[in-house]
Amino acid sequence: MDRAYSALVEILGLHCECPIFGCLRFRRQCTNGKVSSSAKLVLKVPDECVKLTEYSVWADFMYHIQYTKPADYTMVAVDSVEQLSQAQLDKMIHSLKKQRRPLAYHCPQAILEEIRPEWLVDFSLHNKESFWQRRKR
The ranges assigned to domains in the chain are: 2-30+48-118
Q: What is the pLDDT of residue 17?
A: 87
Which of 46, 20, 43 is closest to 124 using CA atoms?
43
Q: What is the pLDDT of residue 88?
A: 97
CA-to-CA dists, residue 46 to 12, 114, 115, angstroms: 17, 12, 11
Residue 99 belongs to what H/E stretch? none
Which of 29, 7, 27, 22 is closest to 115 using CA atoms?
22
List residues bridging with 54 in a β-sheet.
Answer: 108
pLDDT in tens, 28-60: 666 555 555 567 788 999 999 999 999 999 999
Q: What's the Rg (C-alpha) of the chain?
A: 17
The answer to whether the predicted template modeling score (pTM) of the entire model surpasses 0.85 is no
- Given a cut of 60, is residue 130 above it in pLDDT? no
**13 SS3 class:** coil
